[in-house]
Amino acid sequence: MWAFLTKDLLLFWRDRKEVAVIILLPIVLVVLLSLVVPGMFGEETSESYDLDLALVVEDQQDQGFERFQEEVEPSNDQSQQMIDQLQAMPPVDGLVAYLNSPELAEWVTVNQMDLDQAQTQVDEGELDAALIIPEHYTYQLLNEMVLDEPSEATLQFQASGQSQEVDMLRQMIQRYLDQINLQYAVASSGSQVDSANDNLPEGGVENVEGQSMFSMEHYFTFSMAALFTLFLAATVATRTGIEKREQTFNRIALTNAPPLYYLMGKTISTFILAWLQMMFVLVGAHLILGVFTEEGPTFWVGLIVMATLYALAIAAISSIMTSTMLRVKNNDTGDGIFMAVVMVLGVIGGNFVPINVLPNWLQQIGELTPNGLILATLTEWVQDQTYSLLVMPTVILVAIIVTALSIGIAVYPKRGEQS
Amino acid sequence: MLETVQLSKQFKGKTVVDEVDLYLDQGESVGLLGPNGAGKSTTISMISSLLKPTSGDVTLNQQSIIKNPAELRAVLGVVPQDIALYQELSAYENLKFFGRIYGVPKQQLESRIQETLEIVGIKERQQGLIKTFSGGMKRRVNIATALLHNPKILILDEPTVGIDPQSRHYILEMVRQLNQQGTTVLYTSHYMGEVEQLCDRVYIMDHGQVIAKGTKAELLSILSNEDTINVQLDRIDDEFLSSARAIDGVRKVEVSGNSIHIIAKQERQIVSQLVKISDQFDVQIKNFQMETPSLENVFLHLTGRTLRD
Ligand SMILES: Nc1ncnc2c1ncn2[C@@H]1O[C@H](COP(=O)(O)OP(=O)(O)O)[C@@H](O)[C@H]1O
Ligand SMILES: [Mg+2]
């Protein structure tokens, strides 16, 4: 069997230009697509400078002032003067006015609504962000500013996804509050904008569920990696066709070498190439585009394990193609069938366009194709490194490997049966 | 030692090999002669256990090899009609791969490769890729590959098709030497000359059937009371042809181009008759030749066609 494997690898090596193109094409495409098509896919927020902000005012400004006046006897004239000034230009009113000011109106649309509505719409991605001014905010703010007492006066800012614009808006609100503080010469404490997602990594992409975000670079990386290994399988079968046409396969059949060694040599060499191809895409996308810069060792372990299983599944599928190629009368028929199979798998697996544009029933079938499965699995894995996520895909991939190999062996022509 | 019994093959109902009986004795050199499409390659595929016969049997030392080909494969070298080599690999790499899967022991592999390269005379070019080789050199590697495991029986399927005279001569000489050193040879060709030169016994195949067999002398004796006359004319005239066919003793008249081949009983009068009718129909004889009988004539005699039709 070693003889067959080294022969196949040597043949690939002789053809290294063509093989290099096949292996490196996906990473090239990933880079190109990431440069050319930003914003065509994924977050609507990055489509244009047009932010939809929910404004939730739970604070009752007037009551806050009244309550503060009732409870607090102004200790001196200075404090009373400050209260008067604040009442003349209340901070929350000022903030709302600021949000509607020409500076922001260009690219921020403010929709005032209640808390539930805001959260639902942000969750569903209809709105980009929500600014929540909590109950008693004015009251607490007054305590803090006038009496210099610590309080919990914080604004809450929630975003459905991170984008440049959302971040800009957050910073501008922060700057506005800082200005108020400066104006009243009060320490800046207490008037922070509290991002709802403080638990997330610094500067990290974020959404409300508290997961890393799945970007289009990730999609391109995973889908191209999955798709082009399929093409590789078809390429191997084409090469089998050449061995059939040039009669070297017959010559092999004239020896006493166990027939399946031929198939195993093909399958193992396919695995090696498919694995290399996966690694080139994944590592290449990481090094060139930095798609996985925030991921730790856990992520890489899972990624490599799944990529390896996928490469095995592809090799097993290529064994069916190899055996079929040896049986069909005409090589072109074989090539045609395999290309069609690859295209269909590619489409329903979501490697050409994201799977969610397909009808539901097709999506479900799509996730059973190895390429659809690996795409879906890695998509989840990049957002959430929970090992249990990998159990089902592993089971399915192993099932695919075993089934495909069995079919490949069963279809492999017995002596005197090849065309 | 190797024998076929009523060997037949049909492809989609079309009989391509029809109840062929042939045998090879140890040390013999046997020719299988026939025009293109006669069924020679198909017969060889069945003998070499590549193709299952529709009916009939192939035996090695009285043991059928159809179910258990391993023993035959170990002692059989097959040189296929097409160049069955990896074009992208060098001659050496091809030999190494096939040597390994033929089960040549590791310690002997290197020396066997060099020996066979020596036999076929391309030792100096062994690192060259097959695709860069000339037709003749490819044929030589094609043969070398079949010799690696030191086969007792060597089957060659038209090993000299489409190559230069020098390579052709080399190959014929090489096969003769292998045979002299004890290798049993089955040599397939549609060239009479090669088979005449090389083989002790000959089978002549046409349309899937063996139409004649025997030693060269036996086959030629079929022609013992016949002459073959080639006549080149300035033009072909229908009346001349029908008169020629009507000459007493003429069995067949074949036309090719401006020439006619006449097969006739050995009687002197035919020539004078020919001269007479050529005068009569104003046809000029440009060249006249009595042929020494060859296997080509045997084939013509048996089928009414030449081998290269
Ligand atoms: N696999 C096949 N399927 C159908 N017909 C075939 C096949 N192989 C050979 N034939 C036919 O069988 C006949 C004999 O072919 P072949 O054995 O190659 O003749 P030869 O070697 O004497 O030239 C030809 O007419 C050829 O077309
Ligand atoms: Mg032939």
Look up residue A13 and give its two tokens: 């090596």
Sign of CA dihedral A368, A372, A374, A377: negative
Mutation choice for A interface testing from B50, B87, B155 by most A CBs within 10 A: B50
Residues B7 and B115 in one domain: yes
Count of domains forming chain B = 2
Q: What is the DSSP letter of A389?
A: G
Last residue of a domain, one of B186, B220, B254: B220
ipTM of model: 0.78
CATH number at residue B268: 3.30.70.980
Residues 6+ apart with CB under 8 A from A310: A226, A229, A274, A278, A370, A371, A374, A397
Query: Looking at residue B164, which CATH number applies to its domain?
Result: 3.40.50.300
Q: How confident is the model at residue A67 (pLDDT cuts 50, 70, 90)?
A: confident
Q: pTM for this structure?
A: 0.70
Which residues of A fall within a CB distance of 8 Å from B102?
A: 255-257
Displacement of CA A335 from its chain's centroid (Å): 33
Interchain CB distance below 8 Å, B98 and A14: no
Split at pLDDT 50, 70, 90, the class of A43 is very low
Contact B89 A10 (CB under 8 A): yes
Find out whether A20 and A280 touch, Cβ atoms under 8 Å. no
Contacts with A92 (C-beta within 8 Å, 6 or more apart), sequence order: A57, A59, A61, A133, A137, A138
Sign of CA dihedral A294, A296, A299, A305: positive
Q: Is residue B213 part of a domain?
A: yes
Please report whether residue B300 resides in a domain: no
Domains assigned to chain A: 2-41+214-411 (no CATH), 51-197 (3.40.190)
Domain check: are B27 and B174 in the same one? yes
Q: Which of B220, B235, B254 is the last residue of a domain?
A: B220
Whether residue B299 is contained in a domain is answered as: no
A418 CA to centre of own chain? 46
Same structural domain, B187 and B160: yes
Binary contact (B70, A256; C-beta < 8 A): yes
Mean pLDDT in residue range B43-55: 91
- Beta-strand pair B29-33/B55-60: unpaired
Contact B145, A251 (CB under 8 A): yes
Does the structure show a pLDDT above 60 at A207? no
What 3-state class would DSSP assign to B199? coil
Torsion over CA: A399, A402, A407, A408 (sign): positive
User: Which residue is listed with tokens 């046997």?
Assistant: B30
Six-digit token string for B82? 């097409």
- Report whether pLDDT(A155) > 70: yes
DSSP SS3 for B261: strand
Using a CB-CB distance cutoff of 8 angstroms, which residues of chain A are in contact with residue B103? 255-257
pLDDT over 90 at A103, yes or no:
no
- Residues B280 and A209: their CA atoms lie apart, in Å, by 111
Sign of CA dihedral A231, A233, A238, A239: positive
Q: How far is CA A303 from CA A170, A295, A384, A391, B64, in A?
A: 34, 11, 12, 13, 55
Which residue among B74, B83, B89 places its CB closest to the CB of A11? B89
Find the mean pLDDT for residues B46-52: 90
Which amino acid is present at A71?
A: E
* Three-class secondary structure of residue B278 per DSSP: helix
Cα separation, B185 vs B191, whole angstroms: 16
Residues of B in contact with A269 (CB under 8 A): none
Is there a single domain that holds both residue B163 and residue B188?
A: yes
- Ligand 1 atom 5: residue of nearest CA: B11
Same domain, B208 and B115: yes
HSE of A375, CA atoms in CB hemisphere, 13 A: 34
Exposed, middle or buried by CB within 10 Å (0-12, 13-18, 19+), for A328? middle
DSSP single-letter state for residue A124: T
Q: Is residue A40 predicted with pLDDT exceeding 60?
A: no
Q: For ligand 1, say whether the CB of B9 is within 6 Å of any of its atoms.
A: no
Write down how long chain B is: 309
Residue range(s) defining the domain that contains residue B81: 2-220
A349 and A371 in contact (C-beta within 8 Å)? yes
Q: Are residues B143 and B85 in the same domain?
A: yes
Pairing type for strands A193-195 and B55-60 reads unpaired
Instruction: Please state, in angstroms and rounded to a whole number, the distance separating the CA atoms of residues B198 and B33.
Output: 12
Question: Residue A131: is its pLDDT beyond 70?
Answer: yes
Whether residue B122 is found in the same domain as residue B69: yes
Query: Is B117 inside any structural domain?
Result: yes
pLDDT score recorded for residue B268: 61
Q: What is the pLDDT of residue A271?
A: 95
Q: Which atom of ligand 1 is nearest to the CA of B38?
A: 22
Distant-in-sequence, close-in-space partners of A363: CB < 8 Å, separation ≥ 6:
A350, A355, A356
Residues of A with CB under 8 A from a CB of B: 3-4, 6-7, 10-11, 14-15, 243, 246-248, 250-257, 261, 415-417
Helix (H) or strand (E) holding B210: strand B209-215
Q: Average per-residue pLDDT in chain A? A: 80
User: What's the pLDDT score for residue A416?
Assistant: 56
Would the pLDDT of B44 be above 90? Answer: yes
Q: How many CB atoms lie within 10 A of CB A300?
A: 15
Residue B104 has pLDDT above 50, yes or no: yes
Rounded mean pLDDT of A63-80?
Answer: 77
Q: How far apart are CA B86 and CA A70, in angstroms?
A: 98
B44 and B193, same domain (yes or no): yes
Q: Label residues B141-177 b or e (16+ Cβ within 10 Å = b).
A: bbbbbbbbbebbbbbbbbbbeebeeebbebbbebbee
In this structure, what DSSP letter does residue A285 have?
I
